Amino acid sequence: MSLLSFGKSKTPIETPVNPQVEALLQDYSIEVMPRTAEKVEDFTALLPKGTRVYVAHIEGTPIEEMVATAKRLSADGYKVMPHFPARIIKDEATLADWIARYQGEAGVDQALLLAGGVDKPFGDFHSSMQLLETGQFGKAGFKHLHVAGHPEGNRDIDKDGGNTLVMDALRWKQTFADTSDARMALATQFAFEAGPIIAWADAIKAAGITLPIHIGIAGPAKLQTLIKFAIACGVGPSLKVLQKRAKDVTKLLLPFEPTEVLSELAAHKAANPDFNITHVHFFPLGGIKTNANWAIANGGASAIPASQS
C-alpha cells in the first residue's frame, strides 16, 4: 500500500499499489532543467533522499545555471547526474572546466554523456564516445557514466531507419565499460509501449550488450503535450498508442499516465528476474510535481542505498 495526501486534507489516503510496479520503481530517477527546477520550492517534499536527478543541458543554457541547479540538488541530498551533450561542448578544455565546476561546486561524480540535439557540432565533439576517449571523467574520479539508448532506433545516427551504427556504438561502449572502472548504464529515450521495449532490450542483450538499462518513461501529462514531445524527440512506433487514445474523445482531455506500460514491464521483470531493465527514468513532461506524486502513489517512495544503484 502507498500513502498519499490529497488537497488540504491532513489524513493520508491509502491507495493500493501493484507490488510488481512498486519493485520496479525503487530507486527511480527523474530529469529536470534549471528553469523547471526553479519552479519547485522544495524538492525534499516530492522526491525521496538519494533519488538520482538528471539535469538536462539544453542548448543555450549557461553552465553557471547548470552548476547552480546541481549544487542545490546535491545540498538537498540527491545524486546529481548532469548531461554532457558532446555537440555543444567546444573542446576538451571546456569539457575539463565543466567537470571541475560540477565536482568542485556541487560534489558531482556522475554524468550522462550523449551526442546532444543540435545538428552541427559547436566544436571538436560530435559523439559521447569522443567524450569518453578524452579520459577526463576517469581522471576526475567520476563513478557513474551513463550513455543514451534508443528502444525505437535513432535516425540521427542510422538515417536509413536501421540499427547498424547504433549497435556498433553500443558495442564500443560495452567494451569501454568492460575495460575501465566506470559503472555504466544505458539511459533511454521514452517510449509508450512495452512490447517494442522488451524486444529491444532482449535484442541488445543477445548481441552481447550487458549494460543495465534505465528505461525512459514519460510521466503523466496531457495527451497533446506527449504527442508534441514524442514527435519532436523522434519517438516513432509507439506513438500510435497516443494516437489511438486521441481518437477517443472521452479520453482526449484526461492526463495520460504510464500505468499500462510500467505494469507490463514490471510483470515481465517479475517473470524474468535477469531482464536487463533495472531502473525507471522519468521524463516529467507534465511537470515535476505531477510526476513525483504519481510515483509516490504507485510505490516509488523510497530509494535504495547508493552502493546498490
- Cα 9 vs. chain centroid, distance in angstroms? 33
Quick one: cell of 247? Answer: 481518437
Q: What domains are there in the chain, each with its CATH number?
A: 14-303 (3.20.20.220)
Q: Pairing mode, if any, of strands 255-256 and 221-222?
A: antiparallel
Per-residue tens of pLDDT for the chain, all 309 residues? 444 433 343 444 456 889 999 999 999 999 999 999 999 999 999 999 999 999 999 999 999 999 999 999 999 999 999 999 999 999 999 999 999 999 999 999 999 999 987 889 999 999 999 999 999 999 999 999 999 999 986 556 655 556 788 899 999 999 999 999 999 999 999 888 999 999 999 999 999 999 999 999 999 988 777 777 666 665 665 666 666 665 555 555 667 899 999 999 999 999 999 999 999 999 999 999 999 999 999 999 644 444 444
The C-alpha atoms of residue 104 and residue 107 are separated, in whole angstroms, by 6
> Beta-carbon neighbour count of residue 24 at 10 Å?
28
pTM of the model: 0.87
